[in-house]
Amino acid sequence: MRKDFYIFRHGETEYNRLQRWQGQGVDIDLNEAGIAQAKQLAVKLQDKGLQIIYSSPLKRALQTANIVANAKKLAVKTLPELTEGSVGDCEGQEREKIAQKYPEIWNIWYGDNNIMDIRWPNGESKQEIQNRMVSAFDKMLQIPETIIGVASHGAAIRYFLLKFGYGPHRITNTALFHLVYQDGDWQLAEINL
């Protein structure tokens, strides 16, 4: 059995533009630039043969998924496991202030991928985020569709793809990855299409 997953990050929000962390607790819509990015993403995905899209329930991912889906008249279903990682007490704060306040966590979070139990105060660890995303993909392996769009978030995608040797790269808005499952094996086929 083969399944193709086209995994994409949501379009830009005002918090992204202002370099403020959203995490799970800040749930806002795309801004105008983010809507335009999602429309461009829909064009990129036009010939991929998507049959369904699964999305994080957070507005920014769901709105991106719906823009992509509307171009092809596809169904969108939400999976809570696809939501962004919780950054706990850092949600809503500016990136620069977070880096200054927690330099040790910052350096490990973005640098050392061998330390998966690192977390922001009252947030999820990299490992917890990865485990949650793996659970989402295990669920999607059970559905009949074989070409699946997946709308998620920067940290969620980053630490999921780390499982396949990709990281610790920053995941830009509407970045697109092609992950293939075939006969028990996973392969990251294309990066940032």
**For residue 152, what are its two tokens?**
């998620």
Q: How far apart are CA 79 and CA 138, in angstroms?
A: 12
Catalytic residue (choose from 10, 91, 124, 153): 10
- The count of other CB atoms within 10 Å of the CB of residue 17 is 12
Which residue type does 183 have? D
Contact predicate 24/85, CB 8 Å: yes
Determine the Cα–Cα distance for residues 173 and 147; give it in Å rounded to an integer.
22
| Known catalytic residue at 91 | no
Catalytic, 104? Answer no
Residue at token pair 């139990």: 117
Say which of 81, 84, 91, 124 is annotated catalytic. Answer: 84
User: What strands, in cross-sheet order, belong to the sheet with 185-190?
Assistant: 76-78, 52-55, 147-152, 2-9, 176-182, 185-190
Whole-number Å distance between alpha carbons of 138 and 133: 9
CB distance 168 to 110 below 8 Å: yes
Q: Tell me the catalytic residues.
A: 10, 84
